[in-house]
Amino acid sequence: MPEARCPGGELGAFIILSLVTLIPAVVVVTSGNIVRSALSLIPTFLGVTGLYILLHAEFVAGIQILIYAGAITVLILFVIMLTQGGSGVRIRQINEQVPLGAMAAVWLGFLILLVVFRTPWQIDATSVPQYNVSSVGTAFLTDYMLIFEVTSLVLLVSLIGAIIIARREE
């Protein structure tokens, strides 16, 4: 028997998860407190996890929670605290690139809307790729092995750099 689908329910879940993702993402970018920015990443990552679940990519959603909402957020907070970025001292920062960044954001938004409205969205069930533990694991250990290892090295180097900077300040 075919699975009964409720497009209105999926649309509602998508809208809620989009808001759960986008509102904290705006806080990450606009907050003057770096600790608040780092903590705002957690609901952003969890919203992305919900979007993965809507796409029936449960394994990727689980990895999203473990890696990003857990490990990366803790690493960011650890680096902030290690470098005394979370001391609470407010420093006025002036950035002359705000108009250029705003203009780039408006153009990017325009291009995204252009693509969304010009794309034919009729997708048949056979063209949707099937993601499961086996296919993602195989991709990590074959096609994306170098990217996976380089990412882990970048995280390790950033942690070592934070420790060196913190020791230098003592």
* C-beta of residue 26 within 8 angstroms of C-beta of residue 71: no
**Domain assignment present for 106:** no
**Domain assignment present for 31:** yes
* Domain at 29, CATH number: 1.20.120.1200
**Domain assignment present for 123:** no
Q: Could you tell me which residues come within 8 angstroms of residue 54 by beta carbon, excluding any fewer than 6 positions away?
A: 10, 13, 14, 17
**Domain assignment present for 109:** no
**Domain assignment present for 19:** yes
**Domain assignment present for 57:** yes
pLDDT at position 127 is 63
Question: Per the structure, how many domains does the chain have?
Answer: 1
**Domain assignment present for 98:** no
**Domain assignment present for 2:** no
Q: What is the residue range of 47's domain?
A: 7-88+130-169
- For residue 170, give the DSSP letter: -
- Kindly give the confidence (pLDDT) of every residue in the chain, 170 residues in length, as a single tens digit, with 9 standing for 90 and above: 455 555 678 888 999 999 999 999 999 888 877 788 888 888 999 999 999 999 888 888 888 888 887 777 777 777 777 766 555 555 566 677 888 988 999 999 999 999 989 988 776 666 666 667 788 788 888 888 898 888 888 888 887 887 787 776 65
